Chains A and B, each alone.
Chain A
Amino acid sequence: MLYQTTNKPILLVCHSLGGIIAKQALCVANKQFPRYGSIVNSIAGVIFLSTPHRYGDKTTNFNRFRGLLEGTIGKVPKIPNASVEQDGAMLLDLADRFEGLSLRTPVLSVYELKESKTSSTPLRLKYQHVGSESPFRAGN
């Protein structure tokens, strides 16, 4: 049909941890292509604004995630230590899966270089980059 919405392009604009949701959605859509193929094919571009991507290990991934969360909601809910490793692994896995998508559409990832204020616990920096050292490959 001439006006079919299912053929209309989609631009995803994600901020902060919203990018995690978008990446998961794209990974699921790609995995279930027979069902969501029209959505995958309609993605005209993805813009990530201060979204964490991939860091070296599980703990770093989780700490970046936690730092970002702390920067946005102020106080991070208590997360059991046992979950840190598991959640870090999930984030790392998501980053790997997303990179494995090989999207043919432009992907732009933007993050701030200015330090953001976070909670000032004695053992933690008062200011930190919540999205620095993004290893995301521009133009992926």
Chain B
Amino acid sequence: MHITPQEPSTTSHRLQLPLPHYSFILAWAEGALVFDKLSDHGLNNQVPGCGPSSCAASSNPRGPGRLRVSEPRREAHLNTLLTLISAFSIVLIPGIGTTSPENWPFASRTWLATLPDAGDGARILAYEYPSPFTIHNPSCESLLMLGYDLLQHLNDVRSQADQSLASVITPEFFLKRFICRHTC
């Protein structure tokens, strides 16, 4: 399990660790708006930046779609981590040929900040999938198969997040948190 940053292309600050969250935590610290892909077992070998209509189904042993994690610019590493662990998830599932989830207001931190209970702390996941109606024998069945795919990716992302957090939340983490509270 690993993660391949989609953008920006500079990866010198990223660690090749089996901890997907490290990647975008560091990306946050860089102050970049990053859409990182949480996936499993080489799913991230797809063409970077491929959209809903262009993701290659054959290169993905898990399924044709994928879940991308949209995370915002953050000021500090620890704030980011604290936000991560307190977040709930909003999963955006677009239609076929419709507006990309990246442009939905639900993915906007400004909009999310207007929600009660710290809505801006939500983790935004966008499901991307190739249109099932571009293949030779289109049917609703191929659309329904994406339901399995979405479910599996959702399950994977949550499992991976738990594994990451189990590693991230160490005594060192609490020490950093303590220091941050008293110095930041």
Contact = CB atoms under 8 A, between A and B. Distances in A.
- Specify whether A and B are partners: yes
A19 to B, nearest CB: 7
A126 to B, nearest CB: 19
B94 A9 contact: no
Nearest to B107: A13
Contacts of A14: 93
A29 B151 contact: yes
Given A79-B138, A83-B139, A8 B88 contact: yes
Contact of B146 (A3, A15, A24, A91): A24
Interface stretch (B29-37, B54-62, B152-160): B152-160
Q: Interface residues of A toward B: which range? A: 35 or more
B155 A22 contact: no
A110 interface: no
Interface of B: 85, 87-99, 104, 106, 122, 127, 129, 131, 133-134, 138-141, 143-144, 146-148, 150-151, 154-155, 158-159, 161-162, 165-166, 169
Interface of A: 1, 3-6, 8-25, 27-29, 35-36, 38-39, 44, 50, 62, 65, 68-69, 72-74, 76-77, 79, 83, 86-87, 90-91, 94
